[in-house]
Amino acid sequence: MTSLPPPGPHGGDGPAVATALGWAPGDVLDLSQSLNPVCPDPVPVLSRYLDAVGRYPDPAPAAAALALAMEVDEDRLLLTNGGSEAIALVAGALGGHVEEPEFSLHPRGVGPRWRSNPHNPSGRLAGPEERAEVWDEAFYPLATGHWTRRDSDAVVVGSLTKLFACPGLRAGYVVAEPELVARLRAAQPMWSVNGLAAAAVPALLSLCDLPGWAAEIATRRRALEQVLRAHGLVPQPSDANWVLTEAPGLRYRLARHGVVVRDCTSFGLHDTARIAVPDAGGLERLEQALGADHDERPTTATTTERAPT
């Protein structure tokens, strides 16, 4: 029986599972990473800017384009090497704490409260009465159709590569008061934002249809929930581009059929899977994998997933 790699701490396990199966990475449906399932393919856009790899990057035009799109002053926005760098820079400057469960890259110490919105892992949006000093809005545009909640007294970190379904590109941002942005910029390594991202971000932004994308994702999320229920799974309420369901061993069982879902043990949610909202073809493939799993499952389900080392 195929021995699969253990789940990684952040999802995106498709390539490792593909290697274990002897497949090409593109042959695996990776629903362990929660990306925008309805945006245009970013590859044709990125291909127009490949010559940018031959010169040192200048992120200023991309930062200006993003500030314009978000309707914030340019001195309040810092473009970063993905959302992870945005988190690391703010955490290094301010520290912080969370209320568990919460995204593992957020600081666990003293300082301001951090909260992902929608909450990661539950997928629920914060209520208007809820407050945090640092909001992680990596998935907020996909849940609401708006760039940001716009709390005037809060720092925001976000991710463009979730929005445009290109996590390998690495493009994120911080929105904060100008003094803090200046401090973060001084702490940021030189040429942190790569040349391809810096060159392509303005063109990617021209593709944005946040309200349309959010509405379509909500429709596709409901379709995903219907498929899960049809196969005996109970999706938990979500406002995000994913749903949770309690399903022991589901990651292993679906991975044998080339569909990868997120194991939520790293959140402290044992026996819970997080499933990204797929496009139409992905939903059909997920349904087929769930059906095949049901047909193959013994009376007493067992798994042989390798334990993390």
pLDDT tens series, the chain, 309 aa:
568 888 888 889 999 999 999 999 999 999 999 999 999 999 999 999 999 999 999 999 999 999 999 999 999 999 999 999 999 999 999 999 999 999 999 999 999 999 999 999 999 999 999 999 999 999 999 999 999 999 989 999 999 999 999 999 999 999 999 999 999 999 999 999 999 999 999 999 999 999 999 999 999 999 999 999 999 999 999 999 999 999 999 999 999 999 999 999 999 999 999 999 999 999 999 999 999 988 776 644 444 444 333
d(CA 224, CA 55): 44
Task: Give me the pLDDT at residue 240, please.
Answer: 98
Task: Give me the pLDDT at residue 294, please.
Answer: 81
Quick count: other Cβ atoms within 10 Å of Cβ 48?
11
User: For residue 48, which phi and psi values (nearest 5 degrees)?
Assistant: -75, -10
**In the numeric block, which tokens belong to residue 214?**
């959010």
Q: Whole-model pTM?
A: 0.92
